[in-house]
């Protein structure tokens, strides 16, 4: 009698379990959402950096947006030409043009002790230091030198230098933009890799004050504007700006700059 009382509930539970398992299996099959196989294929060929340079949260999100959302494929700066061609093959379209670009720091000023406002004892990051009295150096537009951009670079393209802003290795830089977002002073910009000259300054202060706080800051003297044969340089808010669509790398601006804030990136190779 006792055995029967035990077996009956066990049998009932077993049958119910079987019925529920079959039901769940049928429901899963009926309610399954079809996934376009191209999403997985696109995700597999992407670099997996999940840097967000394409405008999406990560590589898989980008792949899903292209296939399901009908988004126009944008060049993946990390993947480059090879990834662009593979994406085009999967999607059956012409490969997008991947511009050759690199990140550049628009500051070349001295950040040694003599340029500091005082002895900063706070958290050693640019994001923290910029909140303290507008930054730790006398130039309110210059690099603070704590290396937030160096730490966030996933490709080893940046290295710190003593008393100077970090250096960017163009061969390793993928133009992912993480360093651009990390700089609290907006000193890093993405420019064409073909550009040989950079106004390595971001100061909007008047020339007289710039000379007081920096030996290599732009004073807005406009000598570079006068010398440029292609009219590629303008001065806005006391700062020289190069229009890289007009610039032909003539180099006259570099020769004319009395402050030395226009950098020729190939100078060390010559």
Are residues 198 and 180 part of one domain?
Answer: no
Are residues 187 and 115 part of one domain?
Answer: yes
Are residues 269 and 199 part of one domain?
Answer: yes
Range of the domain at 75: 37-91
Question: Within a domain: residue 29?
Answer: no
Taking only the tens place, the pLDDT of each residue in 123-156 is: 999 999 999 878 899 999 999 999 999 999 999 9
Question: Within a domain: residue 31?
Answer: no
Taking only the tens place, the pLDDT of each residue in 90-113 is: 888 887 777 789 999 999 999 998
Are residues 251 and 207 part of one domain?
Answer: yes
Taking only the tens place, the pLDDT of each residue in 196-250 is: 999 999 999 999 999 999 999 999 999 999 999 999 999 999 999 999 999 999 9
Percent of the chain scoring above 70 in pLDDT: 86
Q: How far is the first Cα of the chain from the last one, in angstroms, to the nearest whole number?
A: 101
CATH assignment at residue 141: 3.30.70.20
Are residues 110 and 87 part of one domain?
Answer: no
CATH assignment at residue 64: 1.10.15
Nearest one of 257, 260, 248 to 195, comparing CA atoms: 248
Q: Are 180 and 104 in contact (CB under 8 A)?
A: no
Q: What angle do CA 175, 178, 215 make, to 5 degrees?
A: 85
- In this structure, of 40-44, 163-167, 209-213, the range with the lowest mean pLDDT score is 40-44
Are residues 172 and 110 part of one domain?
Answer: yes
Residue the block writes with tokens 């909007």: 204
pTM of the model: 0.78
Q: Residue 270: what pLDDT?
A: 46
């Amino acid at each position: 009698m006792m055995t029967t009382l035990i077996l009956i509930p066990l049998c009932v539970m077993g049958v119910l379990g079987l019925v529920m398992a079959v039901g769940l299996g049928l429901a899963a099959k009926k309610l399954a959402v079809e996934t376009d196989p191209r999403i997985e294929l696109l995700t597999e060929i992407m670099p997996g950096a999940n840097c967000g340079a394409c405008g999406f949260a990560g590589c898989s999100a980008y792949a899903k947006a292209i296939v399901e959302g009908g988004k126009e494929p944008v060049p993946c700066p990390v993947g480059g030409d090879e990834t662009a061609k593979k994406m085009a093959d999967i999607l059956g379209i012409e490969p997008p043009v991947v511009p050759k670009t690199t990140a550049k720091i628009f500051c070349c000023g001295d950040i040694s002790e003599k340029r500091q406002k005082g002895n900063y004892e706070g958290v050693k990051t640019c994001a923290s230091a910029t909140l303290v009295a507008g930054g730790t150096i006398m130039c309110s537009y210059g690099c603070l030198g704590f290396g937030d951009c160096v730490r966030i670079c996933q490709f080893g393209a940046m290295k710190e230098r003593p008393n100077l802003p970090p250096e960017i290795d163009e061969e390793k830089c993928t133009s992912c933009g993480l360093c651009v977002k990390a700089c609290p002073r907006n000193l890093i910009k993405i420019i064409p890799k073909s550009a040989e000259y950079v106004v390595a300054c971001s100061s909007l202060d008047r020339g007289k004050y710039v000379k007081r706080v920096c030996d290599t800051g732009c004073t807005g003297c406009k000598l570079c504007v006068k010398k440029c044969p292609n009219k590629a340089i303008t001065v806005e808010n006391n700062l020289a700006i190069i229009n890289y669509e007009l610039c032909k790398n003539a180099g006259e601006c570099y020769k004319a700059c009395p402050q030395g804030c226009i950098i020729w990136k190939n100078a060390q190779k010559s």
